[in-house]
A and B are shown apart, each in its own frame.
Chain A
Amino acid sequence: MADVLEIAAAWLAEGRQVAVATVIETWGSAPQPVGSQLVVDGNGNFEGAVSGGCVEGDVITAAQDTIASGGHKVLSYGVADETAWKVGLACGGKIRILVEAVR
């Protein structure tokens, strides 16, 4: 698979709006190591991964928010509470993710 940043550059060159999500911290069992990335476009198309599929849906929504705002967000996920099971990590780990629009 092509590198996520290269995909981001290619999508930008096609005129698509793009945000990049990066795993910046992990604790315990986490499926994707620090530095793992996901690229999202304005329509929610994505490549790459920041977890085993557990939190991607939420990250994609956040990424689209940053595309709209032109800013950045730092997100945290874990299994600390009941609701975390809805959008969380069944593996028991915790992760922090930086989401930023590329502009």
Chain B
Amino acid sequence: MKRDLLAKVIAARAARLPVAVITDLATGEERMVARSDAAADPLSAILDKAFRFDKSGVENTDSGEVFVTVHNPPLRLVVTGAVLIAQALIPMARAAGYDIWVVDPRGAFATGARFPDIALHAEWPDEIIPQIGLDQRTAFIALTHDPKIDDPALEMALRSAVFYIGALGSKKTHAARLERLKAKGFTDSALSRIHGPIGLNIGAVGANEIAISIMAEMTKALRLG
């Protein structure tokens, strides 16, 4: 691998630009292809599949065996609610490779002491979420229980391509939430993207176990769709 190729890959990832590196296994020669240029590439069919399923692998081509490495942008987790479940979830999500953003306009919750080393935003979701930019490598979770905070963020998540949307709350709370969002014009099929009550049903008790159930549900959405 050439140094300048390594630098280009690292720069692309920092800019959240999906790229692939194609290595000829016989010669060791390598080249980088941006996802935006993949359609025009001789290996377009292979590249399209690799980007969509985030799957690196060996492929046989007319010119021999190649290894295609997909560098999709890092996973991100955006959470509204600087609450106890968020405190439990963040270390796990970080270990699984997510960059974390916590949004909570309530200053008493969103403190650096409670969330060390985290991008913490004591602002309203409609101020900060458009700046974060929700994309297909992002998961969104609403944890405040407060419709004034969660609903506007959920609306933005529903209008985006995020791969996971979860909302904390009982069945009753969730039904009321869906009615409010329906009144805003969202269809049932759009609203079915929201996982609520949040998390896989593993009988979780307490913030730590709920965080595990959320992490499992997010992982399932990422890996199995």
- Chain B residues with Cβ below 8 Å from A8 are 6
- Chain B residues with Cβ below 8 Å from A25 are 57-58
Q: A20-B1, A35-B69, A74-B25 are contacts. A5–B56 as well, Cβ < 8 Å?
A: no
In the bound complex, how far is the Cα of B55 from the Cα of A77, in angstroms? 21
A98 contacts B6, C-beta separation under 8 Å? no
B56 contacts A9, C-beta separation under 8 Å? no
A101 contacts B10, C-beta separation under 8 Å? no
- Chain A residues with Cβ below 8 Å from B108 are none
Q: A71-B28, A74-B25 are contacts. A100–B1 as well, Cβ < 8 Å?
A: yes
Q: What DSSP secondary structure best describes chain B's contact surface?
A: mixed
In the bound complex, how far is the Cα of B8 from the Cα of A5, in angstroms? 11
Closest to B7 in A: A9
B28 contacts A100, C-beta separation under 8 Å? yes
B3 contacts A98, C-beta separation under 8 Å? no
In the bound complex, how far is the Cα of B21 from the Cα of A24, in angstroms? 12
A22 contacts B69, C-beta separation under 8 Å? yes
- Chain B residues with Cβ below 8 Å from A54 are none
A-B contact count (CB 8 A): 45
Question: How many chain-B residues does the 8 Å CB contact rule pick out?
Answer: 18
Is B23 part of the binding interface, using a Cβ–Cβ cutoff of 8 Å?
yes
B9 contacts A5, C-beta separation under 8 Å? yes
B3 contacts A12, C-beta separation under 8 Å? yes
Is B148 part of the binding interface, using a Cβ–Cβ cutoff of 8 Å?
no
In the bound complex, how far is the Cα of B23 from the Cα of A22, in angstroms? 11
A interface with B by C-beta (< 8 Å):
3, 5-6, 8-9, 12, 20, 22, 24-25, 34-35, 71-72, 74, 96, 98, 100-103
B25 contacts A98, C-beta separation under 8 Å? yes
State how many angstroms separate the Cβ of B58 from the closest Cβ of chain A.
Answer: 5
B25 contacts A9, C-beta separation under 8 Å? no
Closest to A25 in B: B58
1/0 per position for B23-67, CB-CB distance to A under 8 A? 101001000000000000000000000000001111000000001
Give the top 4 A-B pairs by smallest Cβ distance, nearest first: A72-B28, A35-B56, A24-B67, A102-B1
- Chain B residues with Cβ below 8 Å from A9 are 6-7, 10
A98 contacts B10, C-beta separation under 8 Å? no
Is B2 part of the binding interface, using a Cβ–Cβ cutoff of 8 Å?
yes
In the bound complex, how far is the Cα of B126 from the Cα of A67, in angstroms? 51
